[in-house]
């Protein structure tokens, strides 16, 4: 069943955990009665507690894509979606000849980053000692919580160049004697520019292996065909959240023993009965992890300053120290719980520049010259194709006295069949996705400006997508052939086409700065 990913693509259900064990674990210095009360509550616990809060609000949801529902097992949904949604062609250079190596201005707009949250510390096995007692009551503290990984959009950044390839949060420290809990692992905060999207993705090495195998089977296949046809299986919950895998011990496992072995304890009935209760605790830990170890299928969109950092990977729980296991049957518990492991995952960080307006044109149409005329930006200008190799943002002043302004983004030129990986592809179109208006720049020096405009419309997604934006069409190089009327006729044909689509249009000469003031006025209306 193919799903167009509507809001109700997966059935909605209330995500709740099934007990309140964590609130009833005795705090430090637990008495024998407190421990027994807690352990006995584990055996029959089935109460419902309020829904766990999520660190990711609906306001941060990313762009949706189609997926297919394969099956549903309880609260797990098995889906599959094209590989293109879980990787980037920038990490498949050997399979893709058109990739341009970004070096200008140190601008990097895409990174795949390996992130890992910290492991929880182990619980301690320790006993109180004094002058009168060689071995007193257990006083082993709990392990510290593993560090988590957070992301935050901040002002003052305009590139992903400074992001590292790998981020690892700190591990929680082991518990100590005298009921001292271990220190929590250090959290990690990844700061990114406003306009960054974050998506879960596959390990680039794994993707390269998949693509290599598929292209090896059929040498005629293009990279685009492979990315669009290979399906990636993913486990999600009912809220369209990818379930992240935490490799860890199963309920009833994860014990640390001192002096006596695990086999010794397994043979004791008192430990078997005790461990059956602890299995319920382990299940609830895993249940909590199920509702917290997830990431939105469609990613998160940090299009504004993030006031509060967003957690993307949670650290592991600390293990319980032996102070919790003193009971009337267990006087000297020489065992404690291991800390829970962290989570490792890859995320695709992609910067989509935020500008009020975006310039779209074929190579050498004069977009950079226009931006240079109207704003404070100084893009490289030349008489060859692909002068612009990275997005350039210019600020246009509306009112010099008030400081009111709007921004314009110039992206690399788009060629015919760019959607099929020709030229520089459509890698940079994302930088004007958020723009309120698009300004199509065509050269009146070319043979058929209307056909050039149709080419641009087709490459950026067709009329349906174009009509979602405010549109202005600019006929540049209107000073060409001043002694003939051919240039004028070209613009009139262009203007007629624009009127049919209810778009405004204007002829200019960016080189000679003709009609630039009127152009700015029309752009201001779009912004």
pLDDT, tens digit (0-9, with 9 covering 90-100), for 428-444: 778 888 899 999 999 99
Indicate the helix (H) or strand (E) that contains 35.
helix 32-43
Kindly state whether residues 342 and 399 are assigned to the same domain: no
Does residue 23 form part of some domain?
A: no
| Tokens at 310, concatenated | 């967003």
Kindly state whether residues 332 and 422 are assigned to the same domain: no
Residue 131 backbone phi and psi in degrees, to 5 = -65, -30
User: Who wins on pLDDT, 365 or 387?
Assistant: 365
Domain boundary among 350, 372, 403: 350
Kindly state whether residues 119 and 267 are assigned to the same domain: yes
Instruction: Report the pLDDT value the prediction gives residue 419, as an integer from 0 to 100.
Output: 57
* DSSP secondary structure, 202-248, as one string: --HHHHHHHHHHHHHH-TT--HHHHHHH-EEEEEE-TTSEEEPP---
Gap between the Cα atoms of 153 and 110, Å rounded: 15
Gap between the Cα atoms of 482 and 499, Å rounded: 25
- In terms of residue numbers, what domain contains 172? 66-96+111-350
497-503 average pLDDT score: 97
Distances (CA, A) of 507 to 368, 372, 470, 472, 490: 16, 17, 18, 11, 10
Does residue 105 form part of some domain?
A: no
pLDDT grade for 449, boundaries at 50, 70 and 90 = very high
Q: Are 312 and 115 in contact (CB under 8 A)?
A: yes
Q: What is the length of the chain?
A: 527
| Tokens at 185, concatenated | 């692992």
pLDDT grade for 239, boundaries at 50, 70 and 90 = confident
Considering only 112-126, 268-282, 320-334, 477-491, which range has the smallest mean pLDDT?
477-491
Q: Are 73 and 217 in contact (CB under 8 A)?
A: no
Considering only 70-79, 129-138, 189-198, 478-487, which range has the smallest mean pLDDT?
478-487
Among 4-13, 81-90, 133-142, 364-373, top mean pLDDT goes to 81-90
Does residue 26 form part of some domain?
A: no
Kindly state whether residues 179 and 233 are assigned to the same domain: yes
Does residue 170 form part of some domain?
A: yes
Strands 404-410 and 392-399: antiparallel
Domain boundary among 350, 372, 395: 350
Does residue 507 form part of some domain?
A: yes
Kindly state whether residues 207 and 283 are assigned to the same domain: yes
Does residue 424 carry a pLDDT above 70? no
| Tokens at 83, concatenated | 């590989």
pLDDT grade for 420, boundaries at 50, 70 and 90 = low
Does residue 84 carry a pLDDT above 50? yes
Does residue 99 carry a pLDDT above 70? no
25-42 average pLDDT score: 88
CATH number at residue 509: 3.40.50.300
- Number of domains observed in the structure of the chain: 2
Does residue 417 form part of some domain?
A: yes
Instruction: Report the pLDDT value the prediction gives residue 443, as an integer from 0 to 100.
Output: 94
Could you give the maximum distance between any two Cα atoms of the chain, in Å? 112
Kindly state whether residues 305 and 186 are assigned to the same domain: yes
Kindly state whether residues 273 and 205 are assigned to the same domain: yes
- What's the mean pLDDT when you consider all of the chain? 85
pLDDT digits (tens, 9 = 90+) for 34-83: 999 999 988 765 544 444 444 455 556 667 899 999 999 888 899 999 99
- Specify whether the backbone of 105 is left (phi greater than 0), alpha (psi in -120 to 50) or beta: left
Can you tell me whether residue 276 is helix, strand or coil? helix
Name the DSSP class of 514.
Answer: B
Gap between the Cα atoms of 180 and 161, Å rounded: 42
Gap between the Cα atoms of 456 and 472, Å rounded: 13
Q: Are 41 and 24 in contact (CB under 8 A)?
A: yes
Name the DSSP class of 379.
Answer: -
pLDDT grade for 412, boundaries at 50, 70 and 90 = confident
Distances (CA, A) of 326 to 30, 36, 70, 335: 9, 8, 48, 11
- Would you call 233 exposed, middle or buried from its count of C-beta atoms within 10 A (0-12, 13-18, 19+)? exposed
pLDDT grade for 13, boundaries at 50, 70 and 90 = very low
Q: Are 77 and 9 in contact (CB under 8 A)?
A: no
Gap between the Cα atoms of 48 and 408, Å rounded: 53
Kindly state whether residues 247 and 306 are assigned to the same domain: yes
Q: Are 363 and 386 in contact (CB under 8 A)?
A: yes
Does residue 184 form part of some domain?
A: yes
Kindly state whether residues 335 and 378 are assigned to the same domain: no
Instruction: Report the pLDDT value the prediction gives residue 481, as an integer from 0 to 100.
Output: 67
Name the DSSP class of 435.
Answer: -
pLDDT grade for 24, boundaries at 50, 70 and 90 = confident
Gap between the Cα atoms of 163 and 180, Å rounded: 36
Considering only 207-211, 311-315, 374-378, 417-421, which range has the smallest mean pLDDT?
417-421
Domain boundary among 304, 328, 350: 350
CATH number at residue 324: 2.70.210.12
Gap between the Cα atoms of 162 and 168, Å rounded: 16
3-class SS letters over 367-400: HHHHHHHHCCCCCCCCCCCCCCCCCEEEEEEEEC
Cα dihedral sign, 419-456-518-366: positive
| Tokens at 44, concatenated | 């029959």
pLDDT digits (tens, 9 = 90+) for 376-409: 765 444 444 444 457 788 889 877 666 788 999 8
User: Who wins on pLDDT, 392 or 263?
Assistant: 263
Kindly state whether residues 338 and 479 are assigned to the same domain: no
Does residue 103 form part of some domain?
A: no
pLDDT grade for 17, boundaries at 50, 70 and 90 = very low
479 closest CA partner among 465, 497, 491: 491
Indicate the helix (H) or strand (E) that contains 284.
helix 269-292
Kindly state whether residues 471 and 325 are assigned to the same domain: no
Gap between the Cα atoms of 224 and 209, Å rounded: 15
Gap between the Cα atoms of 137 and 147, Å rounded: 31
Gap between the Cα atoms of 417 and 189, Å rounded: 40
Gap between the Cα atoms of 173 and 282, Å rounded: 20
User: Who wins on pLDDT, 99 or 430?
Assistant: 430
Cα dihedral sign, 3-9-10-16: positive
pLDDT digits (tens, 9 = 90+) for 145-155: 999 999 999 99
Instruction: Report the pLDDT value the prediction gives residue 377, as an integer from 0 to 100.
Output: 61
Kindly state whether residues 398 and 290 are assigned to the same domain: no
pLDDT digits (tens, 9 = 90+) for 161-210: 999 999 999 999 999 999 999 999 999 999 999 999 999 999 999 999 99
């Amino acid at each position: 069943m193919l799903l167009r990913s509507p809001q109700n693509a997966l059935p909605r259900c209330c995500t709740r955990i099934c007990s309140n064990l964590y609130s009833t674990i005795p705090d430090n210095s637990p008495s024998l009665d407190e421990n027994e009360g807690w352990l006995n509550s584990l055996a029959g616990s089935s109460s419902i507690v309020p829904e766990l809060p999520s660190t990711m609000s609906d306001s941060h949801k990313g762009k949706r894509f189609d997926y297919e529902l394969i099956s549903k097992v309880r609260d797990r949904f098995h889906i599959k979606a094209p590989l293109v949604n879980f990787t980037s062609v920038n990490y498949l250079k050997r399979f893709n000849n058109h990739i341009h190596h970004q070096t200008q201005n140190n601008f990097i707009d895409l990174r795949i980053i390996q992130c890992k949250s910290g492991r929880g510390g182990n619980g301690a096995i320790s006993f109180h000692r004094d002058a009168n007692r060689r071995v007193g009551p257990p006083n082993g503290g709990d392990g510290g919580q593993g560090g988590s990984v957070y992301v935050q959009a901040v002002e003052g950044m305009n590139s992903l160049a400074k992001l590292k390839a790998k981020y690892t949060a700190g591990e929680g420290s082991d518990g100590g004697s005298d009921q001292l809990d271990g220190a929590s692992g250090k959290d990690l905060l990844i700061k990114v520019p406003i306009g960054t999207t974050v998506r879960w993705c596959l390990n680039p090495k794994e993707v390269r292996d998949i693509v290599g195998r598929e292209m090896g089977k059929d040498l005629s296949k293009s990279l685009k065909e492979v990315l669009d046809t290979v399906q990636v299986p993913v486990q999600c919950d009912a809220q369209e959240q990818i379930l992240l895998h935490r490799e860890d011990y199963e309920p009833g496992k994860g014990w640390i023993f001192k002096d006596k072995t695990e086999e010794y304890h397994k043979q004791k009935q008192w430990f078997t009965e005790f461990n059956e209760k602890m299995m319920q605790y382990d299940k609830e830990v895993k249940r909590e992890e199920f509702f917290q170890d997830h990431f939105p299928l469609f990613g998160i969109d940090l299009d504004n300053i993030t006031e509060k950092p967003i957690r993307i990977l949670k650290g592991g729980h600390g293990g319980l120290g032996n102070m919790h296991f003193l009971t009337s049957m267990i006087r000297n518990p020489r065992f404690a719980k291991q800390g829970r492991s962290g989570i490792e995952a890859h995320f695709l960080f992609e910067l989509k520049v935020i500008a009020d307006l975006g310039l779209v044109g074929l190579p050498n149409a004069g977009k950079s010259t226009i931006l240079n005329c109207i704003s404070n930006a100084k893009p490289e200008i030349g008489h060859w194709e692909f002068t612009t190799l990275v997005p350039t943002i210019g600020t246009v002043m509306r009112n010099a006295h008030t400081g009111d302004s709007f921004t314009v983004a110039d992206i690399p030129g788009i060629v015919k069949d760019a959607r099929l990986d020709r030229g520089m592809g459509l890698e940079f179109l994302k930088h004007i996705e958020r723009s309120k208006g698009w300004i199509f720049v065509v050269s009146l020096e070319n043979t058929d400006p209307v056909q050039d405009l149709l080419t641009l419309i087709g490459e950026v997604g067709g009329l349906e997508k174009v009509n979602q934006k405010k549109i202005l069409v600019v006929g540049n190089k209107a000073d060409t052939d001043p002694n003939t009327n051919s240039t004028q006729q070209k613009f009139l044909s262009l203007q007629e086409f624009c009127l049919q689509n209810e778009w405004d249009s204007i002829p200019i000469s960016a080189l000679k700065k003709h009609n630039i003031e009127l152009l700015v006025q029309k752009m201001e209306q779009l912004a």
